[in-house]
Homo-oligomer: A and B are copies of this chain.
Amino acid sequence: MDVRTALLEAAMTAFAEAGTRGATTRRIAEAAGVNEVTLFRHFRTKHELIRAALERFVERLERQPLPDRPADPRAELLQWARAHYRMLHRHRALIRKVMSEREEYPAHCAVGLRASTAIAADLTAYLARLRRDGLAAPDGWDERAAASMLLGALFSDAMGRDTMPERYSYSQREAVERYVDLLVRAIAARPRARRRERGSTPS
């Protein structure tokens, strides 16, 4: 790992533990195994370093795809939600810090939350495709609100489970399935009718 990458990774670790305020250049340099002079040769300020580290973090996040042509909404949503939940839970400390930077370091907050906005757009578009393809109720619900509902449940669970264990008596695995099932019921999502096999008799 080159020095720049080591600094970026050390910055993200320190940020996840202590936010921008607590992620001192001394702490970051030590964790990266370099001295502060070296750090300042690569990044002019701590803020520049943290910002670059957040940009890199967001760019490298893998986004789980959702099918262009939905076939089995419950299964597709469940697979997607499991991957999204894993990502949220893995990075929960970092995400909590990003959120809390809104007042003091809005630029850091904005970079970090770019990923969240893109993920919400993916899910919203998929839910709109379910409606378009007749795989969900034609009206009475809004795809943005429905996406926010599932994302909100996954997010709160992933962020809150370690801080409020009393609230979560079911496992993470059960949780994701229950949230997806509630959404499936709320929008009356159903699988695509299978096309008739060639040679089968029309019923």
Residue A8, interface by CB 8 Å: no
- Complexed CA–CA distance, A53 and B113 (Å): 30
Interface positions, chain A 94-144, Cβ under 8 Å from B, are: 96-97, 99-100, 102-104, 109-110, 113, 116-117, 120, 140-142, 144
Interface magnitude class on chain A: 35 or more
A181-B19 in contact given A162-B102, A186-B186 (Cβ < 8 Å): no
Q: Are A141 and B21 in contact (CB under 8 A)?
A: no
Q: Is the interface of A mostly helix, strand, loop or mixed?
A: helix
Tell me which residues across on chain B come within 8 A of A65, comparing CB atoms: none
- Complexed CA–CA distance, A145 and B103 (Å): 31
Chain B CB count within 10 A is highest, among A16, A100, A116, A151, for: A100
Q: Give the distance to chain B from A124, nearest Cβ to Cβ, in Å.
A: 9
A-B interface, 4 closest residue pairs, ranked by CB to CB distance from nearest: A100-B100, A145-B178, A152-B156, A152-B152
- Residues of A in contact with B (beta carbons under 8 Å apart): 16-19, 21-22, 93, 96-97, 99-100, 102-104, 109-110, 113, 116-117, 120, 140-142, 144-146, 148-157, 159-160, 162-164, 166-170, 175, 178-179, 181-183, 185-188
